[in-house]
Amino acid sequence: MRAFSPRLATLLPALLLCGPVAAAPDPTNWTAVLDEASGQNVYWYAWAGDQRTNDYIDWVAERVEEQFDIALTHVKIGDTAEAVSRVLAEKQADNDDDGSVDLVWINGENFATMKANDLLFGPFADALPHFALTYPEQNPEVVTDFTLPTEGYESPWGRAQITFYYDSHELRGDSQEIATPPQDIHSLREWAEANPGRFTYPRIPDFTGSTFLKQALIALTDEDKALYAPVEESDFTAVTAPLWDYLDALHPHLWRSGRQFPATGPEMRSLMSDGELSLAFTFYPSVPAAAVADYELPPSTRSYVLDEGTLGNVHFVAIPYNSPHKAGAMVVADFLLSPEAQAHKQDLGVWGDRTVLDVTRLDDESRALFTLDESNPAMLPAGALQKTLPEPHPSWMTALQDAWQARYVGN
């Protein structure tokens, strides 16, 4: 996640050739990495739009200080583009040794931007001791980001997939039950028409809202193969025409008649909690169950995925090329992959973010850490996430965001 959608098109002038960078630790010499990391201050730029996420990062900071003598600071940002822009500005100013960003929660087009402009340190991920627990040879999604090979410049730390949820005992303010929620994009529009004001999606360029656009486009276009190549190789107008027709018809039936949108996924969840919506979605499959466990959503909440599958990806952390604390950043990235950290993150009482470890291949003691509370009524049924739709090429995200803004906002 969420690493989240950038607005960098106007921030990418031709970059100056970079000068020599500071000597970096050898990722393959882990003993030396640990020695160098001890006592370092690591600044992690990460999205701060959800309190559960923030609390989890606070816990990580406590653990890496206890275990490795690393002082981890969560630099709270609203959009990963803020961190990318900072590193870009530092490179243009020839600051190649003493950057302000040591670790960044990143994904998709942000990764593509940083990788293309030589803003990343690496490769390092393959050398992290816990990386082997992802078994990348069996799980290629941990080494692929929006169709692009990560090549060791990112380390995975969580999974995301669009998951719908609804209040099975509330429909338009009465006690009717949503016996059969909409199972595909077409029936979603029909449901919205029959239940005006009870569904919406986050305002673009929010990452969750942009992902909804991609989900709908994959289902609606006859040219879905074009989505997995750079957008400039396709006729964007022709490929996306069904999406705009769909949204034009959908918007009048959304919350506040589509004239206003929640800013984020968590804000959309608050609308569900307040009873303003009866149907919503999240990019974190366990969030509805976690919200029920935290009394934020009613126990009548149920989760499901569309019959056609839903869009999913792995989110990563990366280290900028000019981080002065690369060793500490690598140790933090490795800790995030430990069974301890991954299981704590997946705990519904903590965050509920799914693990990137291949749990089936862990030892018995580690595997036991990942036992889910199946008694929670809002949990997805076992196997529900098996049909994951891959993310389009990162260039499609920015193109869709720009087109949405031009069509529905006018800027």
Answer whether residue 2 is part of any domain: no
pLDDT of residue 180: 81
Distances (CA, A) of 184 to 7, 251, 303: 30, 17, 14
Of 46-50, 187-191, 379-383, the poorest mean pLDDT is in 379-383
Q: Using CB atoms within 10 Å of the CB of residue 257, give its burial: 0 to 12 exposed, 13 to 18 middle, 19+ buried.
A: exposed
Same domain, yes or no: 254 and 130:
no
Answer whether residue 383 is part of any domain: no
Of 28-37, 194-203, 279-288, the poorest mean pLDDT is in 279-288
Amino acid in position 263: A
52-62 pLDDT per residue, tens: 999 999 999 99
Mean pLDDT of 387-401: 93
Specify whether the CB–CB gap between 160 and 283 falls below 8 A.
yes
Same domain, yes or no: 252 and 398:
yes
Same domain, yes or no: 192 and 278:
yes
Same domain, yes or no: 304 and 264:
yes
309-352 pLDDT per residue, tens: 999 999 999 999 999 999 999 999 999 999 999 999 999 889 88
Answer whether residue 384 is part of any domain: no
Same domain, yes or no: 305 and 404:
yes
Same domain, yes or no: 290 and 181:
yes
Same domain, yes or no: 305 and 321:
no
Answer whether residue 99 is part of any domain: yes
CATH, residue 249 = 3.40.190.10
Q: pTM for this structure? A: 0.86
Answer whether residue 3 is part of any domain: no
Q: What values do phi and psi take at 156, rounded to 5?
A: -70, 150
Same domain, yes or no: 146 and 176:
no
Same domain, yes or no: 29 and 152:
yes
Specify whether the CB–CB gap between 165 and 299 falls below 8 A.
no
Answer whether residue 324 is part of any domain: yes
Given a cut of 60, whether residue 2 has pLDDT beyond it is: no
Given a cut of 60, whether residue 21 has pLDDT beyond it is: no
Owning domain of residue 182 = 163-312+390-408
Answer whether residue 274 is part of any domain: yes
Mean pLDDT of 223-231: 93
Of 11-20, 247-256, 279-288, the poorest mean pLDDT is in 11-20
Same domain, yes or no: 117 and 80:
yes
Distance CA 132, CA 125 (A): 10
Answer whether residue 77 is part of any domain: yes
Specify whether the CB–CB gap between 210 and 204 falls below 8 A.
yes
Same domain, yes or no: 343 and 356:
yes
The count of structural domains within the chain is 2
What are the structure tokens assigned to 35, written together? 């020695």
Same domain, yes or no: 201 and 103:
no
Beta-carbon contacts of 267 under 8 Å, excluding residues fewer than 6 positions away, are 202
